[in-house]
Every structure is written in C-alpha cells, then in structure tokens.
Structure 1
Amino acid sequence: MLTFLAPIALTIAQATTGAPPLPKLTLEQSSALRCSVAFGIVHRQQADGDAAAAQYPAMAPRGQEFFVRATARLMDDLGADRETIMALVKRESADLLDTPERIDEVMPACLMMLDASGL
C-alpha cells in the first residue's frame, strides 16, 4: 500500500530549482501543514512496523484525509499551485525529520486538531 506522502515525494523530486520564495503562512495554516506532515510521517512509520509509531492511532484514513483537506485549503487560501504546496510540505518534512523527537513533541496537539476536525 502506498503511503499518502509517496505522490508528494515524486512531485518534490521533479520540482525545479530557482522557484520563487515560499509564501508566509498564518499560525493556523502553519499548524495544519505541520500536523498534516506529521501524520504522513507517522503513517509511513506505522506501515514500516515502527514500534514507536504504534503508540499513535492509525493515521489511515483520518490522517490522510486531514492531509488532503489541509493542503487543498492551503492551495485555495494562498492561490498557490501544487509545486508551491509541495515545497511547503518538503520544508516542513525536513524540519520534523531533522530532529526525531519533534514528531513526539507535535503529535499531542496534532491529534487534538485531528479530533477537532471531525474526521
């Protein structure tokens, strides 16, 4: 089963350099993006059998749907194209993966955001 970040990775790999600067996000947008990416990372870890990721609820399908809705909302709010959104995802992924404990730091608030979303 493909994770929901797989298409993103392909898009990122195909992106060209020299792109315009990324848009500045509001706190709400930044939080939704961070949580979307965190859900994707945890989903991937769960699919890989990572014991630490098993402490979290299954990210499929709720986390996937959150990711889709959050990135679609970002596209609408920012008037951004897919490449810009994928660049934002890449930047957030790098930040979260740079320090492994970052996922554990953000997941409690992200899970509350997921529950509040009604998904």
Structure 2
Amino acid sequence: MAQAPSHTSDTAPQVKLSLQQNAAVRCSAAFALGAGLQKVGKGKDWPPLAERGREFFVRASAQLMDETGMSRDAVGNLVQRKASELAEGDKLDRTMPACLLMLDSSGL
C-alpha cells in the first residue's frame, strides 16, 4: 500500500531520491564537513575541499532541485541532516574515499 508523502519543515513533499541523488547529497555533506575540518588543520589526508567541494554542492543542489522540484531550503535541510549523520563516529572517514572518486569523476 502506498503511503502519503511526508512533509519537511518548509512544507515541500519529501521526495524519494535515486541512488545517484542520494550519493550527491551525501558527498555534498561530506565535502562541507571535510572543508570545515581542513580549515582547522584536520583532514590533511584529503585534497583541498573548500572550492571544489563547494562547487560540487552548488551543482548537485541545482540538479536535485531541477530533477525533483525540491526548494533550495529543502535541499539545504537534506544536506544538513546528512552532515549530522556523517559527523558521528568514523562515518565521514568511511564515506570520503567514495566521495572523492565522485568529485574526481565530476570534472571539478
């Protein structure tokens, strides 16, 4: 039986994301966290993430809004929730290698 869509805080219906869209959200969050860590001298095993990570986030967010109709706020909230999850334990360290591959393959 289908369920009615749940609603986010900005009243946009929650959209079921594809695997690629979920990966883009997860990696956008990972790059934001990684750039923040690099700003305070951590995350030195990763390439610089501030510029490339930000551009990845911008492009991924725009694509997600185009493909799903989500608002900018809804996408931002989704990335923030994913960042909170990745900040727990060693999740960021385990996620970053795949995200770095995704960043490299993006051409940024």
Match runs of 1:27-106 below 5 Å: 27-50=19-42, 53-97=43-87, 99-106=88-95
Contact kept? 2:12, 2:70, Cα under 8 Å: no
Contact kept? 2:28, 2:57, Cα under 8 Å: yes
User: Whose helix fraction is larger, Structure 1's or Structure 2's?
Assistant: 1
- Consecutive unaligned residues in structure 2, runs of 5 or more: 1-7
1:49, distance to aligned residue in structure 2 (A): 1.6
TM-score computed with the length of structure 2 as normaliser: 0.85
Runs in 1 of length 4+ with deviation above 6 angstroms?
Answer: none
1:86, distance to aligned residue in structure 2 (A): 1.4
TM-score computed with the length of structure 1 as normaliser: 0.78
Instruction: Count how many residue pairs are aligned between Structure 1 and Structure 2.
Output: 101
Contact kept? 2:35, 2:48, Cα under 8 Å: yes
Larger Rg: 2
Query: Structure 2 vs 1, CA of residues 17 and 80 (structure 1 numbering), >3 Å: closer, same or farther?
Result: closer
Query: Structure 2 vs 1, CA of residues 66 and 100 (structure 1 numbering), >3 Å: closer, same or farther?
Result: same
Identity of aligned residues (%): 46
Match for residue 113 of structure 1? Answer: 102
- Consecutive unaligned residues in structure 1, runs of 5 or more: 1-15
